[in-house]
């Protein structure tokens, strides 16, 4: 085990967003690579917005992506005693103070500052107060060295300097007694021994305040790495307008976790021109040096392309298992039908998602093929009747029904009918599948077997007779 300790610290106020998933992934990869420790901490101090369902949704999404933590999950709501103690420490050392300014007073000050063209920040009225009336109050951290500056030596962005005049006396405990994010994040990261904080760069502005808190509490300051945001194609922050942003929505849309992992890591990290990375590759190759400084633009086509790659190259047995819920959703029952693994193999090349694969698999399992209207009108016609009858007859005569036998059977059909396969294939495809696009005819025949093939031919011939 190395000294590296990283953490993912989601707030359970909704599903796991793909931006959050990427942050989790970067932390996970680095921990695995360096044989460090990946800690999961649920930041649920915002009692009004945190829910059990969101906690579960985040845990489910992390599990689906394969991001197992080494420690945790810790819950901040179980650590209030510790935070209280640390607030007291700052109060006792004169580094924090009680502020009795009412929301109305603060509003008025803010208003005035804006009117006078000043930055609206707390003016420090209660800093010098020595009485402790029994009245509602917040606790503020006394900004040390108001004329000074704090430099965040960021592992991705480089050195970023913040002048303290931009900051004010931060509220560390609300009037209801609950501690605030910037305070608890520092206490937890320090107490949990986190050595490197990797998080979204929307937190970069919080970092100088947090560094000052580390120092005031006598903690060692960790390293920081702020990862650029993910943007939509219009270069605006990624949101639902750009498509699904929840990790689990991608599961439901038929994406494989390895495709999403590969996609997310590349969105912000690169290694030469390489595009395809398994989790094992990533654990070996990932490093913060490869993380770019500019925001990544979410590209759904590329994600789809990666997904089709992983479907094409995936293990058919695993894909068959993953496909079952999608078949159920499409109301396709596989009971008593062709071998699902064989069906999957026939569709891997032609399915970009499991949803597509389930749709493509449906014809194999239907008792009666559903004809596409135009395809039926064009191909289930008197013109093709005698050819279809020949196919039926020749196939019915076969004892074996493997690829070779089927190929030979068709040589015979071509000989009898004098037709090239080009003339036979398409009508037959419609007979067997209902449509004009499908896996290869020989593959389909082999998978559905002789009996079903003959039955489908007979039904088509009967349909033509009834026309
Ligand atoms: N809980 C914070 C969030 O979800 C993350 C805090 C952090 O990583 O420091 O945005």
CB of 199 within 6 A of ligand 1: the answer is yes
- Amino acid 130: pLDDT: 86
Residue 437 to residue 429: CA distance in whole angstroms? 8
CA of 206, closest atom in ligand 1? 9
Residue 43 to residue 76: CA distance in whole angstroms? 5
Using most ligand atoms within 8 A of CB, pick from 75, 77, 185, 198 the residue to mutate for ligand 1: 185
Comparing 294-298, 377-381, 424-428, the range with the smallest average pLDDT is 294-298
- Amino acid 33: pLDDT: 97
**How many Å lie between the centroid of ligand 1 and the Cα of residue 137?**
26
The token duo for 56 is 């579960």
**How many Å lie between the centroid of ligand 1 and the Cα of residue 77?**
15
Residue 114 to residue 407: CA distance in whole angstroms? 83
Using most ligand atoms within 8 A of CB, pick from 5, 7, 10, 15 the residue to mutate for ligand 1: 10
φ and ψ at residue 15, rounded to 5 degrees: -70, 175
Collapsing DSSP to helix, strand or coil, 220 comes out as coil
φ and ψ at residue 144, rounded to 5 degrees: -75, 150
CB of 226 within 6 A of ligand 1: the answer is no
Residue 33 to residue 59: CA distance in whole angstroms? 22
Q: Tell me the per-residue pLDDT of 366-377, one tens digit each, with 9 for 90 and over.
A: 999 999 999 999
Mean pLDDT over 224-249 rounds to 93
Mean pLDDT over 443-449 rounds to 98
The H-assigned helical ranges of 399-440 are: 403-417, 421-433
- Amino acid 2: pLDDT: 75
**How many Å lie between the centroid of ligand 1 and the Cα of residue 9?**
5
Q: How sure is the predictor about 240, in pLDDT bands with cuts at 50, 70 and 90?
A: confident
- Are 76 and 87 in contact by the 8 Å Cβ rule? The answer is no
CA of 8, closest atom in ligand 1? 8
- pLDDT over 70 at 1, yes or no: no
Catalytic residue among 119, 236, 240, 408: 240
Collapsing DSSP to helix, strand or coil, 7 comes out as strand
Residue 353 to residue 357: CA distance in whole angstroms? 6
CA of 200, closest atom in ligand 1? 8
- Are 122 and 106 in contact by the 8 Å Cβ rule? The answer is yes
**How many Å lie between the centroid of ligand 1 and the Cα of residue 257?**
23
Mean pLDDT over 169-190 rounds to 96
**How many Å lie between the centroid of ligand 1 and the Cα of residue 229?**
14
CB of 203 within 6 A of ligand 1: the answer is yes
Query: How many CB atoms neighbour CB 200 within 10 A?
Result: 16
Omega of the bond leading into 73 within 30 degrees of 0 (cis):
yes
Closest CA to 128 of 163, 164, 167, 169: 169
- Are 24 and 37 in contact by the 8 Å Cβ rule? The answer is no
CB of 11 within 6 A of ligand 1: the answer is yes
Return mean pLDDT, the chain. 96
CATH number for the segment(s) 373-466: 1.10.10.350
Q: How sure is the predictor about 239, in pLDDT bands with cuts at 50, 70 and 90?
A: confident
**How many Å lie between the centroid of ligand 1 and the Cα of residue 296?**
19
**How many Å lie between the centroid of ligand 1 and the Cα of residue 138?**
22
CA of 20, closest atom in ligand 1? 4
CB of 21 within 6 A of ligand 1: the answer is no
Residue 351 to residue 320: CA distance in whole angstroms? 13
Using most ligand atoms within 8 A of CB, pick from 22, 23, 43, 209 the residue to mutate for ligand 1: 43
Q: Tell me the per-residue pLDDT of 455-467, one tens digit each, with 9 for 90 and over.
A: 999 999 999 998 7
Collapsing DSSP to helix, strand or coil, 391 comes out as helix
Q: Tell me the per-residue pLDDT of 97-109, one tens digit each, with 9 for 90 and over.
A: 999 999 999 999 9
Collapsing DSSP to helix, strand or coil, 172 comes out as strand
Closest CA to 187 of 87, 260, 300, 113: 87
Distances (CA, A) of 37 to 31, 72, 273: 5, 11, 30
Mean pLDDT over 163-184 rounds to 95
- pLDDT over 70 at 300, yes or no: yes
CB of 209 within 6 A of ligand 1: the answer is no
Q: Tell me the per-residue pLDDT of 388-430, one tens digit each, with 9 for 90 and over.
A: 999 999 999 999 999 999 999 999 999 999 999 999 999 999 9
The token duo for 92 is 């006792």
**How many Å lie between the centroid of ligand 1 and the Cα of residue 230?**
16
Query: How many CB atoms neighbour CB 392 within 10 A?
Result: 20
φ and ψ at residue 62, rounded to 5 degrees: -65, -40
Residue 421 to residue 442: CA distance in whole angstroms? 12
- Are 403 and 447 in contact by the 8 Å Cβ rule? The answer is no
Q: Is 240 a catalytic residue?
A: yes
Q: Tell me the per-residue pLDDT of 2-21, one tens digit each, with 9 for 90 and over.
A: 799 999 999 999 999 999 99
Mean pLDDT over 70-90 rounds to 97
Helix, strand, coil distribution of the chain in percent, nearest 5? 55, 10, 35
Residue 467 to residue 453: CA distance in whole angstroms? 22
CA of 189, closest atom in ligand 1? 9
| Domain definitions of the chain by residue range | 316-365, 373-466
Sign of CA dihedral 229, 233, 234, 238: negative
Q: How sure is the predictor about 387, in pLDDT bands with cuts at 50, 70 and 90?
A: very high
Q: How sure is the predictor about 243, in pLDDT bands with cuts at 50, 70 and 90?
A: confident
71-75 and 223-227 strand pairing = unpaired
CB of 189 within 6 A of ligand 1: the answer is no
């Amino acid at each position: 085990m190395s000294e590296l300790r990283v953490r993912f610290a989601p707030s359970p106020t909704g599903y796991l967003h793909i931006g959050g998933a990427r942050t989790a992934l970067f932390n996970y990869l680095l921990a695995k690579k360096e044989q460090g420790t990946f800690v999961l901490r649920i930041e649920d101090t915002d009692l009004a917005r945190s829910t059990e369902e969101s906690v579960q949704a985040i845990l489910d999404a992390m599990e689906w992506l394969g991001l197992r933590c080494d420690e945790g999950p810790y819950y901040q709501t179980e650590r209030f005693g510790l935070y209280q103690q640390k607030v007291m420490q700052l109060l006792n050392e004169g580094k924090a103070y009680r502020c009795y300014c009412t929301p109305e007073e603060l509003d008025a000050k803010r208003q005035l500052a804006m009117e006078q063209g000043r930055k609206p920040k707390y003016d420090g009225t209660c800093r010098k107060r020595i009485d402790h009336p029994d009245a509602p109050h917040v606790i503020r951290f006394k900004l040390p060295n108001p004329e000074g500056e704090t430099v965040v030596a960021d592992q991705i962005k480089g050195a970023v300097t913040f002048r303290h005049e931009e900051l004010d006396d931060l509220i560390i405990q609300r009037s209801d007694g609950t501690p605030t994010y910037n305070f608890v994040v520092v206490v937890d990261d320090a107490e949990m021994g986190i050595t490197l904080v990797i998080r979204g760069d929307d937190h970069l502005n919080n970092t100088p305040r947090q560094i000052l808190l580390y120092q005031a509490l006598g903690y060692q300051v960790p390293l920081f790495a702020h990862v650029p945001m993910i943007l939509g194609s219009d270069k605006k922050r990624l949101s639902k307008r750009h498509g699904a942003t929840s990790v689990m929505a991608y599961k439901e849309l038929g994406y494989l976790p390895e495709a999403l992992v590969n996609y997310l890591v590349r969105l912000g990290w690169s290694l030469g021109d390489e595009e395809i990375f398994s989790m094992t590759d990533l654990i070996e190759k990932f490093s913060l040096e490869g993380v770019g400084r500019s925001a990544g633009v979410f590209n759904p086509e590329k994600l789809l392309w990666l997904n089709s790659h992983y479907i094409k190259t995936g293990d058919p047995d695993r894909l068959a298992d993953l496909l079952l819920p999608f078949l159920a959703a499409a109301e396709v029952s596989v009971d008593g039908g062709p071998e699902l693994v064989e069906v999957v193999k026939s569709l891997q090349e032609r399915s970009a998602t499991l949803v597509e694969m389930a749709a493509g698999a449906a014809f194999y399992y239907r008792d009666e093929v559903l004809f596409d209207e135009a395809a039926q009108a064009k191909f289930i016609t008197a013109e093709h009747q005698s050819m279809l009858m020949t196919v039926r007859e020749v196939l019915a005569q076969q004892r074996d029904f493997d690829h070779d036998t089927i190929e030979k059977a068709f040589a015979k059909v071509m000989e009898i009918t004098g037709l090239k396969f080009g003339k036979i294939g398409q009508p037959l495809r419609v007979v067997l599948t209902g449509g004009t696009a499908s896996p290869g005819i020989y593959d389909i025949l082999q998978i559905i077997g002789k009996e079903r093939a003959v039955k489908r031919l007979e039904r088509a011939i009967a349909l033509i007779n009834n026309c």
